[in-house]
Amino acid sequence: MAELAQRDPRDWSWWYLLLLIPFVAVLWVPFYNFAEPYLVLDRQPPPANYVRLTTHTAKNETGPFKVWLPLTKPGANYRRWIEVWLDGKLLRPRRDWTLSSPSGPLDAIPRPITDAEITFTSPRTGEIQIVADRPGVPFFYWYQLLWVLIGAGLTAFVYFMTERRPAAARK
């Protein structure tokens, strides 16, 4: 049996730096909070008979427009509470619209919030559809799962690039 080449425990390879990529992408909170995409892949406007839907018509105005749906999620991060569509185009929270309540700050009012209003950041014209609690997988869940797979792939790549084979096996 051929002996494996002895490896100095102080051996280091630049390939190990690849293992920092998943660490930064998954554990450094400001990175994924900043990088969170607002994916609209295959997202369609809700059907007209959708249960959790409110519609309004805007004529070159910013609002406020009543949501008329009870909002039950905790905290003040409303980005995933509701979707706002304007003429079939999904608008992004904070960039295109904001959510507020005349009762006070969103994180301080008791749930459910029944008097919420959206206000556009610039005047808009068209049919507005407001949808609450639409089903889907939250960003953080699929992002973490994706990095488990990428991390496994990177680990295998680094392993095979740094593995020391015995001299007899190389021939």
pLDDT in tens, 30-47: 665 555 555 555 667 777
Please compute the mean of the pLDDT values over residues 84-90 and round it to a whole number.
Answer: 88
Peptide bond into 64 cis (omega under 30): yes
Residues 6+ apart with CB under 8 A from 141: none
Report which of residues 6 and 59 the model is more confident about.
59
Using CB atoms within 10 Å of the CB of residue 137, give its burial: 0 to 12 exposed, 13 to 18 middle, 19+ buried.
exposed
Residues 54-86 as b/e (b if ≥16 CB within 10 A, e otherwise) read: bebebeeeebbbebebebebeeeebeebbbbbb
Best mean pLDDT range from 1-10, 42-51, 89-98: 89-98
SS3 content of the chain, % helix, strand, coil (to 5): 30, 25, 45
Instruction: Give the whole-number percent of the chain exceeding pLDDT 90.
Output: 9
Write down how long the chain is. Answer: 171
**Smallest Cα–Cα separation from 75: which of 112, 119, 106?**
106
- 167 pLDDT band (50/70/90 cuts)? low
- Predicted pLDDT at 1: 46
Q: Mean pLDDT for the chain?
A: 77
- 135 pLDDT band (50/70/90 cuts)? low
- Predicted pLDDT at 43: 67
Report which of residues 44 and 57 the model is more confident about.
57
- Predicted pLDDT at 108: 80
Whether the full predicted model's pTM is greater than 0.85, yes or no, is no
Report which of residues 2 and 113 the model is more confident about.
113
- 127 pLDDT band (50/70/90 cuts)? very high
Q: 144-147: which pairs have CB atoms within 8 A and are 24 or more residues apart?
A: 144/26, 147/22, 147/25, 147/26
- Predicted pLDDT at 122: 92
**Smallest Cα–Cα separation from 13: which of 168, 160, 170, 171?**
160
Peptide bond into 110 cis (omega under 30): no
- Predicted pLDDT at 134: 67
* Residue 37 burial (CB count, 10 A): 8
